[in-house]
Structure 1
Amino acid sequence: MYKYILASGEQSINWMAIFSLITFFLMFAISAIAIWGKSKAYVQHMAELPLDEENIK
């Protein structure tokens, strides 16, 4: 199967590279928006959570 994809021409390989670049960029943008959208209080709470002795089981 891989031989067929690679032998089908250089144009398909370029589309694969463009698709992977666009996918990476979209995932990076979505994660950056999700991080910047969090409130500072929530981020501070999550940062202190491992050090909180009340939640140790």
Structure 2
Amino acid sequence: MLTGIVTTVFGFFVLVNPGAGFLSVVGLLATYAAVSGVLLIASGIKLRRRATSSVMTAH
């Protein structure tokens, strides 16, 4: 229910002011890309440390 209300309000906001709506979507995508990049870097570091450890466990 809350998601529907927020989406409707955002839709009306974009209809009234399309420039600001575009900038907010760009901001959301940029935030997603930054968070995703940080998580991928952290995962890569963790995997590299695990690969270079002397003890390898078999599953």
Q: TM-score range by the shorter chain?
A: 0.5 to 0.7
Give TM-score, length-normalised by structure 1.
Answer: 0.57
Task: Supply the distance in 2 between the matched residues of 1:22 and 1:7 (Cα, whole angstroms).
Answer: 22
| Identity in percent | 11
Instruction: Report the Cα offset of residue 28 of structure 1.
Output: 0.4
Which 5+ residue runs of structure 1 have no aligned equivalent? 49-57
Which 5+ residue runs of structure 2 have no aligned equivalent? 1-8
Give TM-score, length-normalised by structure 2.
Answer: 0.56
Q: 1:22 to 1:35 in 2, by over 3 A?
A: same
Instruction: Report the Cα offset of residue 8 of structure 1.
Output: 4.8
Q: Which has the higher contact order (CA 8 A, sep 6+)?
A: 2
